[in-house]
Structure 1
């Protein structure tokens, strides 16, 4: 059984936050350039970036420390799972809507959206990993009352 001195969750959350900011910047730039007329996929990727950076990552880092009642052992995998579904839906929808647009060979908004879809896929994989780790930790924790931090060791 592996025991972590420094919980891997914090590293994964940091990378998730960085990827969310990258996607937020790329999708936000595309919204600014194309005025997002009729492109809901780009708007959804902006939502994913905001949701992850401003809601999810602070929740996972701050709730167990300051408001442990909000860090229920089943709430943590649930929030991770919902966010994982958001990222999956977002990067798939964006990649399908971009398709093979002519004119993407030069630098354009299209290439930025392709990068946003790629970083969205990476973030989906990271949220898949944290969902699995949080679910395993929730199933193996003491079922006693009260909140438990997401930094418990996962064998």
Structure 2
């Protein structure tokens, strides 16, 4: 049993390490795509007037960068929590909530960027497309890693045998408190 727990802890650290590495890769590739993206100014003509509109970096690219930064914070959180707060029930529920937010964020992030790859924002002639595709692929792998760690965290938190606290109030034979 003790060897089994040590193997699971080693596997957990390996998965968290992969999450950290993939987050750094996504930060680098997405950051490069954001850096080399050139916005454009478009002259808009409407019935009520004309104006110049500037199209900058798409919001989905920034959201993918947020997901990567959030992942770094999550890995640090799980490392600290795993060392010092292993037996607290509230921390277990916080871990499940953090994992759920991460899973949903990565799912939304890589899909939003993948949708924009085929649009005019990322055409084949632009330099940012290759790195954006790499960021999307690593974002999808990051989502899969978080699915695995979220499932293991949920199983760990909800299957752990926490003993309910016992009341110290003396009771009578009828069950009423004295």
Query: TM-score surpassing 0.5?
Result: yes
Task: Normalising by structure 1, report the TM-score.
Answer: 0.81
**Equivalent residue for 1:123, pick from 139, 142, 148:** 142
**Equivalent residue for 1:64, pick from 66, 82, 85:** 82
For residues 1-155 of structure 1, the aligned pairs below 5 Å read 3-6=4-7, 7=9, 8-34=11-37, 37-53=56-72, 55-66=73-84, 72-99=91-118, 101-103=122-124, 108-144=127-163
Deviations 1:78-112 (A, max 9, x none): 111110110000000000011265426xx821010
Greater relative contact order, per chain length (Cα 8 Å cut-off, separation 6+): 1
**Runs of 4+ that moved beyond 3 A:** 66-71
Deviations 1:2-27 (A, max 9, x none): 81423111110000000000000111
Structure 1 unaligned spans of 5+: 146-155
Superposed displacement of residue 35, structure 1: 5.6
Distance in 2 (CA, whole Å) between partners of 1:144 and 1:38 is: 52
Task: Normalising by structure 2, report the TM-score.
Answer: 0.71
Distance in 1 (CA, whole Å) between partners of 2:163 and 2:117 is: 49
- Determine which structure has the larger strand proportion and give its number: 2
Superposed displacement of residue 144, structure 1: 4.0
User: Does the C-alpha gap of structure 1 residues 71 and 3 become closer, same or farther in structure 2, counting only changes over 3 Å?
Assistant: farther
Deviations 1:109-142 (A, max 9, x none): 1010001000000000000001111111111102
Distance in 2 (CA, whole Å) between partners of 1:70 and 1:60 is: 15
Native 8 Å contact 1:41 1:94 kept in 2: yes
Aligned-residue RMSD, C-alpha? 2.4
Distance in 1 (CA, whole Å) between partners of 2:140 and 2:29 is: 14
